[in-house]
Amino acid sequence: MGARTKARKRALDILYSADVRRITPAEALSAEAGRAASEPDRAASWLYARDIVDGVIDNQVEIDEQIETFSQGWSLERMPAIDRAILRIGVWEVLFNDEIPTGVAIDEAVEAAKEYSTDDSPGFVNGLLGRIAQQAS
């Protein structure tokens, strides 16, 4: 597993835990920063994970609007918490991170959905991020 894939997993853990625990992503990020300081061997994944979570925090209104707009009848509240977190990361990478090719961002999000969510989630994530990417280009 590459460093960025590990970082996405770490960011997913942070965003998911914030959602489930009903705390802000900033609070969850702060708690994770404390753990990261004691794990220097995981520093490479921590830096990009922090960038992702900071990016989601900074752009959450627009990210959530994009998800709501393109989810075809699914409100954010109806989606599984893990799907919300996966989609927020994917939308941030597609729209706000020029270092990540769109196809890679979508593929990584679909893989996360396959591993951590329902059987229907990979197709949902792929279709939604594909529509957002198409609209953005």
Q: How far apart are CA 60 and CA 12, in angstroms?
A: 15
Task: Kindly report, residue by residue over 27-58, the tens digit of the pLDDT.
Answer: 999 988 888 778 777 777 889 999 999 999 99
CATH match for 3-136 among 3.30.70.240, 1.10.287.610, 1.10.940.10, 3.40.718.10: 1.10.940.10
Q: How far apart are CA 74 and CA 53, in angstroms?
A: 23
Give me the half-sphere count of Cα atoms (radius 13 Å) on the Cβ side of residue 77. 0
Is this prediction's pTM over 0.85?
Answer: yes
- As a whole number, the mean pLDDT across the chain is 93
Where do the structural domains in the chain lie, given as residue ranges?
A: 3-136
Task: Kindly report, residue by residue over 91-108, the tens digit of the pLDDT.
Answer: 999 999 999 999 999 999
